[in-house]
Amino acid sequence: MVLLAPYKYYDQDEDLKAQLRSVIITRSKEGATIEEIIDDYKELTGKHLLAVFFSRNVLAKYLSELENVWCTTDSSCGLLLWFCSTPKTKHVVHMIQQQRSPRASRRTYRQYIPRALAQVEQQELQDTRSTEIGSTGLSNAFNAFTYGEPMQSQVNNRPGRSYRYKRPPRMVRHNPYARRTTTTSQQSTGWRQSRSDELDYSMYGPSYHRHQLVGDDFFLAIAKWELGFSFDRGHQIDMSGLCISGLTLSEAAKRVEVAPFIADHVLVNVGTVDLLHGREMIDLIHDFDQLVARFRERNVEPIMTTLAPIANSGGRTPMAERLLKLNEYMCRTCPRTIDLWKNFVHANGTVRFECYQPGPRKVSGSIMPHVLWNKLGRQLMLGVLGNEIATQLTTDEQWRYY
């Protein structure tokens, strides 16, 4: 009687998925772009991914269907960054994200390079550079080798100094929206210099045409990426003035109550986080009334902006219905409102997804992922706010303060 070993079916697709996950996990610190995934996979297996998927769009679609793999958009330049974390590799991802850059220890390491190894490295470097020598240099080298003429060695033999190998520069991703770095004087104060159409940042935080901004991650992205304001230092949650990641209606009311300075004109966009956390309609109304009351206690009539559609949930979902009801309540109870919702939907009421980032991303102030506006959406929102402010400035006497 012969016992046969059970036959194990080799699933090539599962092997490919495992390899792609491992490639993405190795770049968990900054996220992996499509080009980096292609290069790393070729280095790992010797095969080119485009030979299997034929185009980068097909590869991106395949990655989006993998379990435990997601992508987000780099707000600064619009790149798709891919991440992966499975229950088995969660500790590995955390370890990679917490890794420190080895640049700080590079000098100490090179001081102890053996001299013989340094000379070998330098000789290899000279060999690679020899391909760039002109015809004259090649003929001289050939004559010296033929007639036995001694050639001067280029190795650095100065005592007491080890050879310092210069690595090739690291490839930097193209960032079309990168802003110029601040000067030393601005870094020392932590605030940038305010323009004539802004309020004093040290007192009021981010502002737009002399209107103080109060909002959650949507206004926070506007303040950072479009208006150039930086995050306040020393906080675990990203914030800039009263633009705070994960800001809810009740928390906004508390912030307004204790804030040392509140401007005469305030733009408010709060409530999306409450909807994402599933707050009931009666609680939304109560917290909204409390927020408006805190402003009026400080003799300020806020300019409330309606909430844009939440791209996490499309169609007539309970969340979308509560959002519409809250927008109606804002317009009915507040004398100053700006309707943002109508600018982020088509004529038939469907969401303009081209104004949103491709997928949800985690924010520092909430456990619920957000689908934030992309560059197009942020610019659209700024245009709407500017036009509405200009319209009301020219039609309402109490708005004329310039």
Q: Across the 402 residues of the chain, what is the mean pLDDT of every consecutive 10-residue run?
A: 46 82 85 86 84 84 85 65 83 76 47 49 57 48 46 48 56 50 41 66 93 96 93 91 96 95 96 94 96 96 96 80 95 95 92 92 92 94 93 67 41
Query: How far apart, in Å, are the Cα atoms of 171 and each of 29, 36, 45, 56, 79?
Result: 16, 11, 22, 21, 15
Distance CA 153, CA 157 (A): 10
Give the pairing type, strands 266-269 and 212-215: parallel
Enter the pTM of the model.
Answer: 0.55
Task: Supply φ then ψ for residue 179, to 5 degrees.
Answer: -95, 155
Distance CA 399, CA 331 (A): 19
Per-residue tokens: 205 = 């935080």
What is the CA angle 91-96-102, rounded to 5?
145
Q: Which CATH superfamily is domain 201-399 in?
A: SGNH hydrolase (3.40.50.1110)
Residue 52's CB is within 10 A of a number of other CB atoms, namely: 12
Over the chain, what HEC string results?
CCCCCCCCCCCHHHHHHHHHHHHHHCCCCCCECHHHHHHHHHHHHCCCCHHHHCCHHHHHHHHHCCCCEEEEECCCCCCEEEEECCCCCHHHHHHHHCCCCHHHHHHHHHHCCCHHHHHHHHHHHHHHHHHHCCHHHHHHHHHHHHCCCCCCCCCCCCCCCCCCCCCCCCCCCCCCCCCCCCCHHHHHHCCCCCCCCCCCHHHHCCECCCCEEEECHHHHHHHHHHCCCCCCCCCCCCEECEEECCCCHHHHHHHHHHCCCCCCCEEEECCHHHHHCCCCHHHHHHHHHHHHHHHHHCCCCCEEECCCCCCCCCCCCHHHHHHHHHHHHHHHHCCCEECCHHHHECCCCCECHHHECCCCEEECCEEEEECCECHHHHHHHHHHHHHHHHHHHHHCHHHCCC
The per-residue pLDDT for 216 is 97
Which are the contacts of 247, defined by CB distance < 8 A and separation ≥ 6?
215, 216, 255, 270, 273, 365
- Residue-level length of the chain: 402
Where do the structural domains in the chain lie, given as residue ranges? 12-97, 201-399
Topology match between the domains 12-97 and 201-399: no
Q: 97: closest CA among 48, 26, 167, 165?
A: 26
In CATH terms, the fold of domain 12-97 is Nucleotidyltransferase; domain 5 (3.30.420)
